[in-house]
């Protein structure tokens, strides 16, 4: 692992045990975002950077028992917390770097990614890898249970136009990574950008 990976893992490892307790009311927002992904029964979906797995039960419900739900995260402690919460019953969990996924090309119908992009050392590289494993016309949901301004306030800063998730920045980044953004929502109660996998990158 490089220094960026080590810092990310250390950051989340130190917070894994109390992560769900810090944000106890965010479950409905995860479920609502999953619903907008438009998953069908039998689909295969990845929760990229799944953390403690808060989206996994909703993803399983959306694809049904015949679907495939995978959760991948770089931090073992986060995956252990997901297991303690019983969320491994909804998905197969893997300790994996989302920029080097152990998956075949075009093997997924969709990817759900909560809070992921801001933690990628090279967001373009990460989004290209997610595009690699999703079939053409498959879907990507970039989600956070707080909008940009609300998240910045929580962190004691202000949202700026340089923010990677600002619409003028995110749209071109997605396009250059094999995606086409089709909707963008940034309000205090949530951030959700939906993109479709382009047939050619």
Tens digits of residue pLDDT in 161-177: 889 999 999 999 999 99
Low pLDDT (below 50) residues in the chain: 201
Alpha helices in 1-75, H assignment, sequence order = 3-13, 19-22, 27-36, 56-63
Q: What is the phi-psi region of residue 38: left when phi exceeds 0, alpha when psi lies from -120 to 50, beta otherwise?
A: left
Cβ atoms < 10 Å from Cβ of 188: 12
Compute CA distances 14 → 52, 76, 116, whole Å: 13, 11, 17
Residue 155: predicted pLDDT: 86
d(CA 146, CA 31): 14
What pLDDT score does 16 carry?
85
Determine how β-strand 108-114 pairs with β-strand 44-48: parallel
State the pTM of this model.
0.93
For the stretch 88-111, pLDDT in tens is 999 999 999 999 999 999 999 999
Query: Minimal CA–CA distance to 143: which of 64, 46, 29?
Result: 29
Structure token pair of residue 16: 């894994």
Cβ proximity of 109 and 137 under 8 Å = no
The β-bridge partners of 181 are 195
């Amino acid at each position: 692992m490089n220094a960026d990976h080590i810092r990310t893992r250390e950051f989340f490892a130190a917070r894994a045990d109390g992560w769900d307790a810090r944000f106890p009311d965010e479950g409905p927002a995860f479920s609502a975002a999953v619903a907008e992904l438009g998953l069908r029964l039998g689909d295969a979906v990845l929760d990229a950077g799944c953390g403690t797995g808060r989206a996994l039960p909703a993803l399983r419900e959306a694809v049904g028992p015949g679907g495939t739900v995978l959760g991948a995260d770089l931090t073992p402690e986060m995956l252990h917390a997901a297991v303690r919460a019983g969320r491994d019953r909804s998905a197969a969990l893997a300790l994996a770097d989302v920029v080097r996924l152990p998956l075949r090309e075009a093997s997924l119908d969709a990817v759900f990614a909560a809070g992921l992009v801001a933690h990628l050392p090279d967001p373009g590289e990460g989004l290209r890898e997610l595009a690699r494993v999703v079939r053409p016309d498959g879907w990507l949901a970039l989600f956070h249970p707080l909008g940009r301004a609300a998240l910045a306030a929580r962190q004691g800063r202000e949202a700026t136009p340089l923010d990677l998730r600002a619409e003028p920045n995110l749209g071109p980044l997605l396009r250059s990574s094999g995606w086409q953004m089709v909707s963008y929502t940034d309000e205090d109660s949530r951030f959700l950008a939906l993109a479709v996998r382009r047939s050619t990158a």
